[in-house]
Amino acid sequence: MYECHALRRTRLLAQMQAAGGGIALIPTSLESLRNNDASYPYRHDSSFYYLTGFTEPEAALVLVAHEERLQSILFCREKIPEREIWDGFRHGPDGACSLFGFDQAFPIAALKTLLPDWLATAPSLFYAFGCARPDAIVHRWLDTTCQAVGSATRASPRSIDIAPLINEMRLIKDQSEIALMQSAADISAAAHRRAMRASKPGMFEYEIEAELLYEFRKNGAQAPAYTSIVAAGANGCVLHYDANNARCKDGDLVLIDAGCEFGSYASDISRTYPVNGRFSAPQRDLYELVLAAHQAALDAIAPGRPYLESHEKAVRVLAAGMLEFGLLDRNMCGELDDVIASQAYRQFYMHGTGHWLGLDVHDVGQYREPVLFGEKDPARPHRKLEAGMVLTVEPGIYVRPTPGVPEKYWNIGIRIEDEVLVTADGYHVLSHAAPKSIGEIEALMAQ
C-alpha cells in the first residue's frame, strides 16, 4: 500500500548520493492552536506525506545517504495508551516502521540527540531552508553539532536546499497520484453540478456553498482544498472573494471557485452560471469569450510546448474580445497587438491562466527551466510541458463599473477553470464532468 512512497524515498536517496551524500531532514507540519484547547484541523506537510504516506503530527523523516549507508528513518509519536484515549490511534515507531516500510523508526523525542550525532560525520545537511517552520530548531541542532565536534577539527556540514529535488519529483504525477486527482476532480465536479441545480434567485451565497461542502464530505473528501469562493453578481469581480454571505439576485451570475481535497490531493474548479438558469445577452457575450479563451489555452497544452504558451493564447482571445465588445477603446488602446504589448487587457484580466496542481492547490515546481542547485536566473526561459504534469487552465474576465465601458457589462465576473493532465500526446481534462458550455449549463439548471 505504501510502496509508491518507499519508491520515492529510494529515488530521492539516489539524488542525494549523486550530490555528494549527506543527511536529509524532512519534518511534517506543526499543529496549530486555534484558541484554548481547540486546534485548527491538522494537515500534514505535503512533501513529508509524498515521501512517507504518514499523516500523524509530530513526525519527521530522516534520509541517510552517507558512504555505504542508504536508509530512511521515521521519527514519530510514541504509542501512549492514555493519549490514545483522548486523541485516537497512533502507530508508534514499531508499528509505523513495518507498515510504512522504513528501515528504522524512533520516538520523536530522540531526534534532537540522534540527528546531531549523525550530522557530525555527514558532509551535507539536505533541508528545505526557508520553507518549513522548524528552521530555528534545525539551526540550533547544527550549532550543537558544531560545538560538539569543535570547529577546528570539523567544519559544519554543507547546507543543501532539498526543496527543488522534491518539488521536481512532485511535479510529475505517477499513476497512483493521477487516480487520486481524478477522484478529487470527479467529486468536485459533482459538487459544482449539485450547486448549479440547487441555485435559485434569493438564495444566500453560503447556502450554495453548503451544497458544495455536502457533496465533498458525502463522497469522503477530507476538506475543501482551499476556501470556497461563491460570488454572486459584483462579488464575482473580487478575485479572492470568500465572504460568501450575500444574497443572489435574479439576473446575477454566480462564480464558484471550489474544489475538494481527496486522498491529500487538491482539486481546483471554477464555473460561472446565471442564478436564474438563463444567461442574458451581455452575459452570453462575455461567457462565450472566456470559453473561447479557455479552449485556446487548452489547445496549447501538449508535451514540448512552453508553459507560458497557453496563457499567451488565452490573453490574445480575451484582448480581441475586449476590443470587439467595446471594453477597450481602439482610439485609446490601439489594435490587438498594441493592447497585448501595453497589457491594457489587464484592466479586465489581471491574473495568470494557470498553475501547477497536486498535493497543494498551488503546487510546487518551477515554471521556468528547472535549476536544482544554486542561484536561479529569474529571466531564464519558461519550461516545456511534460507528460504527467497537472496544471489548471483558468481564464476569466472581470468588469468593474467604469465610465466608458458599456454599462450592460458592468459587474460581470466570469472564470472558467479546469484541471488538466498533460498526456503523452496532448491533454486530458480531469474536471470534464463539470458542465461548461452555455447549452450544458442551461440544460442542467432547467432540470
Q: Which residues bind ligand GLY (CB under 6 A)?
A: 226, 257, 268, 355, 361, 394, 417
- How far apart (Å, rounded) are the C-alpha atoms in residues 260 and 225? 5
CB of 258 to ligand GLY, least distance (A): 8
Give the residue closest to ligand GLY by C-beta.
257
Q: How many helices (H) and strands (E) does the chain have?
A: 14, 19
Cα(75)–Cα(122) distance, integer angstroms:
19
> Which partner, Mn ion, ligand GLY, none, binds residue 310 by CB below 5 to 8 Å per kind?
none
Residue 56 contact, options ligand GLY, Mn ion, none, Cβ 5-8 Å cut-off depending on partner type: none
158 forms beta bridges with 124
Region for residue 334 given its phi and psi (left: phi exceeds 0; alpha: psi -120 to 50; beta: otherwise): left
- Other CB atoms within a 10 A radius of the CB of residue 227 amount to 12
Closer residue to ligand GLY (CB): 252 or 417:
417
Side-chain-side CA neighbours of residue 189 (13 Å) = 18
Question: Which among 9-17, 66-74, 202-210, 391-399 is the span making contact with Mn ion, rule CB under 5 A?
Answer: 391-399
Cell numbers of 63, please? 534520509
Residue 235 burial (C-beta neighbours within 10 Å; 0-12, 13-18, 19+): buried
**Residue 360, contacted partner among Mn ion, ligand GLY, none, CB below 5-8 A by kind:** none
Looking at the annotation, which residues are catalytic?
37, 240, 257, 268, 351, 355, 362, 394, 398, 415, 417
Nearest CB to ligand GLY, comparing residues 355 and 432: 355
- Part of the chain binding Mn ion (CB under 5 A), chosen from 41-49, 78-86, 264-272, 313-321: 264-272
Q: Which of 45, 56, 268, 309 binds Mn ion (CB under 5 A)?
A: 268
Q: Give, for 277, the enclosing helix (H) or strand (E).
A: none
Of ligand GLY, Mn ion, none, which one does residue 226 interact with (CB within 5 to 8 Å by kind)? ligand GLY
User: Which residue from 424, 299, 308 is spatially nearest to 367, judged by alpha carbons?
Assistant: 308
Shortest distance (Å) from residue 194 CB to Mn ion = 18
Which residues make Cβ contacts (< 8 Å) with residue 179, sequence separation at least 6? none
Q: Dihedrals φ, ψ of 350, to 5°?
A: -110, 10
**What's the CA angle centered on 135, arms 261 and 154, to 5 degrees?**
135
Closest approach of ligand GLY to the CB of residue 240, in Å: 8
CA-to-CA distance for 76 and 107, rounded, in angstroms? 5
Torsion angles phi and psi, residue 111, rounded to 5: -60, -40
Q: Do residues 205 and 231 make contact, with C-beta atoms less than 8 angstroms apart?
A: yes
Task: From 69-77, 375-383, 385-393, 395-403, give the range in contact with Mn ion by CB under 5 A.
Answer: 385-393
Closer of 225 and 319 to ligand GLY (Cβ): 225
Q: How far is the CB of 179 from ligand GLY (least distance, A)?
A: 22
One character per residue 230-259, x = contact with Mn ion (rule: CB under 5 A): ---------------------------x--
Cβ nearer to Mn ion, comparing 142 with 190: 190
> Least distance in Å: CB of 226 to ligand GLY?
5
115/414 with CB nearer ligand GLY: 414
Q: Are 278 and 444 in contact (CB under 8 A)?
A: no
CA 393 to chain centre: 13
Q: In the numeric block, which cell numbers belong to residue 135? A: 528552521
Given the rule CB under 5 A, which of 55-63, 245-253, 413-421, 426-434 is the region that contacts Mn ion?
413-421
CB of 132 to ligand GLY, least distance (A): 23
Query: Total residues contacting Mn ion (rule CB under 5 A)?
Result: 5
List the alpha helices (DSSP H) in 278-409.
Answer: 281-299, 309-324, 330-333, 336-342
Q: Is 392 in the site for Mn ion (CB under 5 A)?
A: yes
Which partner from the list Mn ion, ligand GLY, none does 209 bind, CB cut-off 5 to 8 Å by kind? none
List interacting residues with Mn ion (CB under 5 A): 257, 268, 270, 392, 417
